[in-house]
Amino acid sequence: MAPGGTSDWMAFQGASYFRTAGAQDQYGLSARGLAINTGLPGREEFPDFTEFWIERTGADAYTIYALMDGASVTGAYRFQSRHVAGAGVEQQVSSVLNIRRDIERLGIAPATSMFWYGEGNRAAAVDWRPEIHDSDGLALLTGAGERIWRPLNNPPHDTLDSFADQAPKGFGLIQRDRNFDHYQDDGAFYDRRPNLWVQPQGDWGKGAVMLYAFPTNSETVDNVVSFWTPAAPAKAGQQLQFDYSLSWKSTDPTAVAATAHVVDCWQGVAGRPGAEPVKGARKLVIDFIGEGLAGLDRQSGVTAKIDVVRGKVLANAAYPVVGQKNRWRVTADVAPDAQGPADVRLFLTRGGRALSETVLTPIF
């Protein structure tokens, strides 16, 4: 509970789900102890935290010990949790898993969130509020040091993205858009929803960060899940250990000043404004902000490096946004092929050097 007992800042409730109210006393997305077979039709398993022991370790600091039990796994967890008013919640997590039977897809450090609609899919905005989502992107810091941003969407059908990596440095579901005017919600306060950043402790080896999403037409349905899945299969009789930290804050750990990061991502009809739309194509528009863009103009040699799978780029441009400080815009008309959606990968570059994080996004 918060001082005075007026609200609570951490809750463990339901299966292995838990969450904190972050830096702005507002619940949003949830974490889980474990995800099993997420994204496999009809086969997801939800192990339970069955026993808890709570140890107070300081002012607004607690260690929670929990036992997990499920058909495919048993486990023991330790959550060293500390709340700092105005800054958020930090948790150091240690877990030991005993695999009871083979698991096809083991999900470590899962986070569950909701994305109904935002500026990129305005056609889904049947509610009067301009945007409704707990998180608006998946951020990754790979083992090689690349910063990746995958905007969330409300897909027309179930989707599963896999981002292969080795020894990942961090990943998480982030709410970058903190502008109240973009939500106009003074009850749910989507502008205050916490981020959840996972930082592995030690070398997690080879595997992939996975992002599973399915369609929703309601803000009460969590339709997005992210997690790490090891490359090595989880076999009956194994004992596995994973240590990591969880940061529940309002600041974005990947939005460093020297690397331009995405602040807006739109989609619309392809072609020039006022002209006939280009059939079979969509326009992707992405805005970046970063101090590394200071002083650059149209004559500075900045371009967008764009690659597309299952589609092709018809036209693209990169340029500074007039009247905005250190803000650049990339526009691209992309035509998905018959096997779509088109998977777009792009970043700002100058003289062979990346100026921004890498954006990965589908176009349906």
- On average, the pLDDT of the chain sits at 95
Per-residue pLDDT reduced to its tens digit, 75-115 = 999 999 999 988 999 999 999 999 999 999 999 999 999 99
Question: What is the rounded distance in angstroms from the CA atom of residue 107 to the CA atom of residue 49?
Answer: 16
- Confidence at residue 85, expressed as pLDDT on a 0 to 100 scale: 87
Reported confidence tier of residue 257, pLDDT bands at 50, 70, 90: low
Residue 288's CB: how many other CB atoms inside 10 A?
Answer: 27
DSSP element (H, E) containing 16:
none
Percentage with pLDDT > 90 across the chain: 91
Predicted local distance difference test score (pLDDT) of residue 256? 59
**Can you tell me the mean pLDDT for 274-278?**
94
Say how far apart CA 105 and CA 112 lie, in whole Å: 16
What value does the mean pLDDT take over residues 137-164? 95
Please answer whether residues 149 and 135 qualify as being in contact, where contact means their C-beta atoms are separated by less than 8 angstroms.
no
Residues in the chain: 364
pLDDT tier, 258 (very low <50, low <70, confident <90, very high otherwise): low
Is the pLDDT assigned to residue 118 strictly greater than 70?
yes
**Which residue has tokens 């083992």?**
143
Bridge partners (DSSP) listed for residue 37: none
Q: Starting from the edge strand earliest in sequence, which strands make up the sheet with 311-320, in order? A: 261-269, 282-289, 327-336, 311-320
Least Cα distance to 32 among 148, 111, 95 occurs for 111
Q: What is the pLDDT of residue 2?
A: 81
Span 31-65, pLDDT tens digits: 999 999 999 988 899 999 999 999 999 989 999 99
Q: Which of 104, 109, 105, 103 is nearest to 74 (CA)?
A: 103
